[in-house]
Structure 1
């Protein structure tokens, strides 16, 4: 009898994502790859041929990560199709990849599965799975509403004050409104917004849209419900609103004072123009790349002050970057409590959990490590000063997009480094670390306790 033959079918097991953070990271990477492919098409470039791979990758990453750093002149290098692709990438990146995917699922099937809710919750920082659907639809509604209001004001101003045709005014208004609310900073003028430095009807709507986007969606939702009842605000909203006000006021005073007599920035402007420009440039380090004065001509002290504002950034669960104002506030109160010798950390009559303190410390230390190592790489490879190198690195990591004018002249290796920083900055160091972890581990035992000497 012939031996029995067995047919073994080998099936390939595709890797499964063990953590929602891995899905978020993969989603952003996929969006960047698609955007890169679209921008490499010949139709996306205004000149002959298609864009180079590095130019397309850098621009796609900057748009999806709502940064605004550029290596080519957006209104000159890209065609109308290319600019439309950039606008789409900004909008999708501002929504959040998984938020956008969840919206598509809702539109098609009118329901969300558990996995979809988990990934959307990880991206939007939603505390519970039950309200993910409400959060996703709310994000879309708030985004489109505020973008529409900003666009309307800008369209009317472009058409009536700058003799733009109505189709051109609509395109300029919509593009800059979406770029502003999503904290992207892409502009359709080679000088960004320097031509409107004293025009409040251009600068103020854009600045207000930037502030709204930087507050984060949870804060916007709560302010809509309880705007006149600040005592009922959550701890997160109180921290974000107070910290935002302090940094905006402090940044305005500092930048205006330092640049007041600078002939290359605020010097030639009258007093109202100086105040408007100072306020505008205080808002922009909140992770937006618009500028109404020449950044490269600013005082190094202003650069350093803007470095601080960029590194701190805006609020969580929004379009802003940086370590976030809540992280900064938590560590500030931890230091305050330690100086006073208090055993617990209290903010606005609320006690902070120890996990939040460790998480804040982790975010800051990982962020400092990324900025420090990248700045050292700049100093080794290029001859740019520490001021310029640090400014460029923090701008990329905090997804700001402001530049001293050196981005396009950097070697390809450093441009790839900036791409990496933008990606890490948009998703957050903890999200990246969680995505890279093979699995989560629960320690089943505690080790003996011992105290090293601190300080």
Structure 2
């Protein structure tokens, strides 16, 4: 009697044979094959979860369910670290609701693809090459290329693990330090100890994440003349807006400086940290925008009795710098935005649209995108073929990505503005201001957003989502979709300009 080969039984201990294993394998394959879609899926799922949480009766102070439009808008605003709201954030939400807000902004501040890479790490239990590419594309979408990548990137692939650690650690450390600075100031102002602890951590989180929510009904009104308090908020917003790759480079530089001070050595790889072009462009452009913005506010608002007209020179300068920093995505304000002159509103629109640094908690098209466009314009004006900055050549594909991001942002703002104008019948300057604030996740408002009907609320929520998720994932998708072409068509130049 011949022996027959029996079919092999599935091993119940095989990870791939279990339902959880199959789900994990499927998610890992999806994240590796389409990181941009994976990132969008993550943010969409988070928004759904937080919408449900904000709809619960326990989340509101009156114990009733929050309407769907308000719950959804709040969830999008929290996850996208925007700071806009359709309800009074300080009084509408209960302690549970405020806790959800606090947790949500911490999650949203991680960044789209950084969050995707962390979840991919949790799924696959390792940080492979593709996962490193996903995380690196948050710092530079050109990392999604299938071919060679130019040197001098913000963060090298071998450093992605350290970058992810820096993202988590720096957020915790910076927020703790900001809270430690704010806490004694609140005690001096007579705030009870327990409330001061909560408010100090809440304000520090909202500053570093560039969200701009306030835990008290008065907002910043009690601290409008407290320049120490406002200065701490400015510091938190700037640190959050420069981006985690810059923070990572600065932390390495500080560590190298400490080694030199301790050992007296001036040579060696551990005592030398080269700043990439990305880091230099981010710092220089950010500082330049802060100074230029403050100068414009001084020039445009010094005689406005509703804003800075009643202040002396020193107060006007400080408040102008505070407003310049907050327009870049901070969201805090010591003045009533509708009281600004029309020229100042337009300046604010431009600053909000630019936003902060790449892979930061800020929104907008990013300061390096603006810098690359200006470098291209200067190179064209000088008749130079290549863009150069800080002794390095910037390849042309970076410019193409920058133009794509700007066009994506401008199209989103234009379409949303047209729809909101039709729905609200409000003035163009107010509509454009709130739409750009939503797209750039700034959080400043003329008051229009809170008065919109449900249809307008949904459009503004979609604008926030597109602004927070769209620019990064679009850039990554465009960079990933580039393929090698083995032929060239005949060249012909259209007339431009």
Determine if the TM-score, normalized by the shorter chain, exceeds 0.5.
Answer: yes
Alpha-carbon deviation of 1:97? 5.7
2:127 match: secondary structure: coil
Counterpart of 2:160 in structure 1 is: 132
Q: Which of 2, 10, 33 is 2:48 aligned to?
A: 33
**C-alpha separation in 1, matches of 2:174 and 2:475:** 33
Q: Deviations over 1:57-109 (max 9, x none)?
A: 10111111111000000011000110110110000111236645765787899
1:172 pairs, out of 186, 199, 203, with 199
Kindly tell me: are residues 120 and 347 of structure 1, through their superposed partners in 2, closer, same or farther at Cα, counting changes over 3 Å?
closer
CA contact (8 A) 1:197 1:277 kept: no
Q: Kindly report which structure 2 residues correspond to 1:256-335, keeping only aligned pairs within 5 A, or say none.
A: 256-335=298-377
Out of 385, 390, 396, the position equivalent to 1:348 is 390
Structure 2 SS opposite 1:351: strand
User: What's the counterpart of residue 186 of structure 2?
Assistant: 158
The superposition leaves residues 320-348 of structure 1 with CA deviations (integer Å, 9 ceiling, x where unpaired) of 11111100010001111111111111112
**3-state SS of paired residue (2:158):** coil
Change in 2 beyond 3 A, CA 1:230/1:415: farther
The question of whether the paired residues in 2 share the 8 Å contact of 1:195 and 1:292 is answered with no
User: Residue 128 of structure 1: CA displacement?
Assistant: 4.4
Partner in structure 2 of residue 144 of structure 1: 172
CA separation of 1:437 and 1:101: change in aligned 2, threshold 3 A: closer
Output the CA distance in 2 between the equivalents of 1:222 and 1:127: 9
Larger Rg: 2
Shift of residue 452 of structure 1? 1.2
Alignment partner of 1:346: what SS? strand
Match of 2:414 in 1: 372
CA distance in 2, matches of 1:353, 1:298: 41
Is 1:209 the counterpart of 2:209? The answer is no
How far apart in 2 are the matches of 1:232 and 1:440? Answer: 30
Match of 1:407 among 443, 449, 467: 449
Higher alpha-carbon deviation: 169-178 or 430-439: 430-439
For the residues of structure 2 that align with 1:140 and 1:429, how far apart are their CA atoms?
Answer: 23
Answer yes or no: is 1:76 the counterpart of 2:91: yes
Which consecutive unaligned segments of at least 5 residues does structure 1 have? Answer: 1-10
1:266, 1:274 within 8 Å by CA — same for their partners in 2?
yes
SS for the counterpart of 2:41 is helix
Residue number in structure 1 paired with 2:62: 47
| 3-state DSSP of counterpart to 1:131 | helix
1:85 is matched with 100
How far has the Cα of 1:207 moved from its partner? 0.5
- Cα 1:103–1:432 change in 2 (3 A) is closer
Aligned with residue 135 of structure 2, among 120, 141, 162? 120
CA distance in 1: counterparts of 2:352 and 2:87, whole angstroms: 23
Q: Measured at CA, do residues 342 and 143 of structure 1 come closer, stay the same or move farther in structure 2, by a change above 3 Å?
A: same
1:383-426 Cα shifts (integer Å, max 9, x gaps)? 21111111011101111010011111112222111111111111
TM-score, normalised relative to structure 1:
0.90
Q: What's 1:8 paired with? A: none
**Structure 2 unaligned regions, length at least 5:** 1-21, 141-153, 258-270
Q: Which moved more, 1:351-360 or 1:128-137?
A: 128-137
Q: Cα offset for 1:352?
A: 0.9
Contact 2:138 2:358 in 1 (8 A): no
1:426 aligns with 2:426: no
Count, aligned residues: 444
CA RMSD between the two structures: 2.8
Q: Which residue of 1 is the match for residue 150 of structure 2?
A: none
Q: 1:100 to 1:357 in 2, by over 3 A?
A: closer
Q: Is the 8 A contact 1:153 1:201 kept in 2?
A: no
- CA-CA distance at 1:437 after TM superposition: 12
Does 1:189 pair with 2:204? no
Deviation at 1:34, TM superposition (A): 1.0
Structure 1 residue corresponding to 2:285, chosen from 228, 243, 255: 243
Query: Which of 71, 74, 97 is 1:56 aligned to?
Result: 71
Q: Give the conservation status (yes or no) of the 8 Å contact 2:401–2:478.
A: no
CA distance in 2, matches of 1:230, 1:401: 39
TM-score (norm 2): 0.83
